[in-house]
Chains A and B, each alone.
Chain A
Amino acid sequence: MEKKIPLNIDGRDVEAAPGQTILDVAREQGIYIPTLCHYSKTTNVGACRVCVVEVEKARSLVASCCMPVSPGMIIKTDTPKIRASQKLIVELLWASGDHNCLTCEQNGNCELQNLVYWLGIEKPRFNVDPPGYEIEKTNTVIQRDLNKCILCGRCIRACNEIQVNEILDFSRRGHRAKVGPAFDADYIDSDCYFCGECVDACPVGALTFKQARFAGRPWEIKKVKTTCTYCGVGCQMDLNIHDNRIIKVTGNRAYQQPNEGSLCVKGRFGLDFVGHPDRLKSPLIRKEKGGELVPATWEEAYDFIAERLAGIKKKSGPESIAGFSSARCTNEENYLFQKFMRAGIGTNHVDHCARL
């Protein structure tokens, strides 16, 4: 048995496990501490300082995301001193960027906006002075507006510690500090693999899905959990639906195995085919060999198929008929396909492209 650590948080006596941070314990206890740079399963960097708490006998406020608990700690998460500090930080972040919610895709889904509201800040006490970067629109799937970046570093840790693609990092210092690929290149000119993990990790509107721009507000979107249609990993993901259209695909870390919220470029950005105008919309039949494929009703197509299949079966036997099922289709469809070939037609000539 690991030794438990007794401590007091907001007047409650609790026991924590060794290695837990103050933030971990607070969350377990249902005590809300705001965070911005904290991103679970990555290094705790304590960069933003909005998660500060008061610890008795500590010289200053401490960042709860980084501070491991120790025996006898007395912690307060809700004091005027803490709130004043959090307000100062949030006002500084607000003033240093172009946080204009009117046109921001993340409006309603922004952690900075939520924090401003939660802290009840009417307006920042500092002059708003955004850096004036150009919005990066050089690729078709990810839009970067570094004027909205709060330098929390979540995208960097998502890139290096979760995907381990090792593309993003900080460059420059102080108020010129910037996030991006090597040599300050645009994503499209870097080695970026376009997995989009950084976009999911971004708490504000700095990184957004370009194809979802102006396609639907967060509160209008319906999320449908499903399994990716590409490789065999079987990533769980949310299709974001508005007006019967997939406007973007997001990961969801709460879904756990097998992908813990991560996706790749195909699952994330490869679903343009779903609503593509070239999709087949009607059955087609070729009435005579050498003729054209012409649209038909389902009834006509079924009659056409059934008549010919039955004729071939009668003339040449069930062994002259074969079927290819599909690794793209569901279990239910594969089951039914082989059942049809075996029981309906009477042949074992059924296979699929497992080998290709």
Chain B
Amino acid sequence: MTNSIEEIEYTDVILATGTNTTENHPVISSRVKRAVRQRGAKLIVIDPREIDLVKYATIWLRQKPGTDVAVLNGLMNVIIAEGLYAREYVENRTEGFEALQKTVAAYTPERVQEISGVPAEDLKAAARLYAKAAKASILYAMGMTQHITGTDNVKSCANLAMLCGMVGIEGGGVNPLRGQNNVQGACDMGALPNVFPAYQPVANDEVRARFEKAWNATLPSKPGKTIVEIMDAAHKGEIKALYIMGENPMVSDPDLAHVEASLNHLELLIVQDIFLTETAMLADAVLPSACFAEKDGTFTNTERRVQRVRAAVPAPGQAKADWEIIAEISVKMGYPMSYASAADIMKEINSVTPSYAGITYERLEEQGIQWPCPNTDHPGTRFLHKDRFSRGRGLFHAVEYIPPAEQTDAEYPIILSTGRVLYHYHTGTMTRLSKGSMERCPESLVEINPADADKLGIADGQTVKVTSRRGTLQAKAKITTRSDRGTVFMNFHFHEAAVNLLTNPALDPIGKIPEYKVCAVRVEAA
């Protein structure tokens, strides 16, 4: 997030697009709801599903899945045409406006209505509401990113915010709401194929030389492969050994049949986890690890706040903290690693990660600290890009609308989107063991619009068969207007109805994120 969670409550307009935040980040959603109910803020929801936030919205734009760039360009079209954009800000702090203006000129409200189904008048009203706010915050999540145009969608959000001068101000910003406890931290720490900690490129000679010195090793210069690319390479036999720590690709990744074949191709699969997951069952070596309640460390939340995790109970059996296991394997492999504690590792992180340089365990004892925090006297940073962007001027990216990779046809006439529900988390290895969650949500459901259910002769609670070009599964139908006509929604928490048997592994060319929000399926009574 460019801004802080707290600021959401004190802004004037909130534009939530592609984020079902009441279910995925419930405590953030309370901020949104308090802003609306108690402080008079206006909420714009852009989402194909009738999510709970719609109840609190002033304007709801229900676009066809995958048409986000068109809708966002349409908003900017109206804002520029009506002269509502922040001229001074655009002039002083940004570049590339002319190209943006030229591109969005073609996205008239009427054309956007044709592409997305969003009524032209609603689009205009939303554009005016956002642009006229003194401060407005954009919230987004996987509904924006899990498309082949995920990067374009995010760029479009940034374009819109900069166009209206909403970046670098308190209560403004472009705010991705991250779905996993430490996905921000894993990225910050360089658990990515192309960068070292703090996003320092591996291909940069100067950077690499610094890390070679710090780590006393020769380091490869060529950026590595992403998850989905690694799976493909394993399938082809190019990747022969895979070490998986705390992930369950046998449920979470797209096109599971392909994932299983890829993992079975490996000469060596090592899985380190807290349970014998679907993935661990395929492994050659399984290592038992301690869970978050059994070890010390830090997580970094979606607003860049680094916070302590503390050991509260002993780990079961011989299970050990992941950091201990990694260090011991490394020593066995001949690369020395010696740390007495998690705090010890943080000291090394401080020395090679400029944005974390001032974040020490002593300082984290009472309160978390938001990076960038360059030294131990620095209080941390509540919002980014104040007065100046990281690169100097904010760069507009003129982006054209591209339709989703897979289109519906006579054989597969319905769009399937996937996501989470409130009571479960990711591949379900944790929440499915919780009585409370299972009592509220014991199985996967196919959310289908009443009109479609009627047409297909499907009753509420009836088992249906959902088939895509890649696979088929069965689950019970839930008839609800939350799904628009011609669309269904399923969660990915239940391996018995593993929705990733159906999903399309088509990737965003830059972000390499699979298009989980759009694939074509057929639904029929089972």
Contact = CB atoms under 8 A, between A and B. Distances in A.
Nearest to B304: A234
Contact of A345 (B33, B298, B333): B333
Contacts of A194: 436, 440
Contact of A139 (B243, B291, B326, B439): B439
Given A244-B314, A324-B243, A324-B249, A337 B224 contact: no
A312 B267 CA distance: 8
B227 interface: yes
A79 to B, nearest CB: 36
Contact of B318 (A298, A309, A318, A346): A298
B6 to A, nearest CB: 6
Contacts of A303: 332
B526 interface: no
Interface string B237-254: 011111111110100110
Interface stretch (B113-121, B158-166, B456-464, B506-514): B506-514
Contacts of B346: 331-332
B247 A353 contact: yes
Contacts of A320: 238-241
B323 A327 contact: no
A333 B319 contact: no
A232 B178 contact: yes
Interface string B290-327: 01111101111111011111111110111111110011
B345 A270 contact: no
A176 interface: no
Nearest to B240: A320
B389 interface: no
A170 to B, nearest CB: 19
Given A322-B224, A348-B202, A354 B187 contact: yes
A232 B183 contact: yes
Interface stretch (B74-82, B126-134, B188-196, B468-476): B188-196
Interface string A258-291: 1100111110011111111011111111100100
A108 B423 CA distance: 32
A283 B224 CA distance: 29
Interface residues on B, range: 35 or more
A306 to B, nearest CB: 4
A183 interface: no
Contact of A271 (B146, B289, B339, B434): B434
Contact of A262 (B27, B188, B202, B424): B27
A231 B180 contact: yes
B481 interface: no
B293 A351 contact: no
A113 interface: no
Contacts of B334: 344
A231 B178 contact: yes
Contacts of A342: 196, 202, 211, 215, 217, 219-220
A305 interface: yes
B313 A351 contact: no
Given A232-B179, A305-B332, A282 B434 contact: no
Interface in A139-162: 139-141, 161-162
A278 B506 CA distance: 35
Interface size class of A (residues with CB under 8 A): 35 or more
A226 B6 contact: no
B193 A231 contact: no
A296 to B, nearest CB: 8
Contacts of A354: 180, 183, 186-187, 192
Interface stretch (A16-24, A94-102, A117-125, A235-243): A235-243
B193 A351 contact: yes
Contacts of B187: 352, 354
A356 B234 CA distance: 19
B308 A226 contact: yes
Contacts of A232: 25, 177-181, 183-184, 301-302
B323 A332 contact: yes
A85 B291 CA distance: 52
A273 B434 contact: yes
Contacts of A126: none
A323 interface: yes
Contact of A265 (B6, B189, B219, B422): B422
Contact of B345 (A164, A244, A285, A336): A336
Contact of B326 (A233, A282, A333): A333
A13 B228 CA distance: 70
A353 B180 contact: yes
Nearest to B212: A343
9 contacts: A230-B181, A232-B301, A266-B434, A280-B276, A302-B332, A319-B220, A333-B322, A350-B192, A351-B192
Q: Which 9 pairs of residues, A with B, have the shortest CB-CB distance?
A: A281-B317, A234-B301, A330-B297, A232-B178, A348-B224, A326-B246, A164-B33, A280-B288, A264-B26
Given A256-B367, A354-B187, 17 more contacts: A188-B439, A226-B292, A229-B291, A232-B178, A233-B28, A234-B181, A266-B424, A278-B275, A280-B280, A306-B333, A309-B243, A320-B239, A326-B182, A343-B211, A343-B215, A348-B224, A353-B227
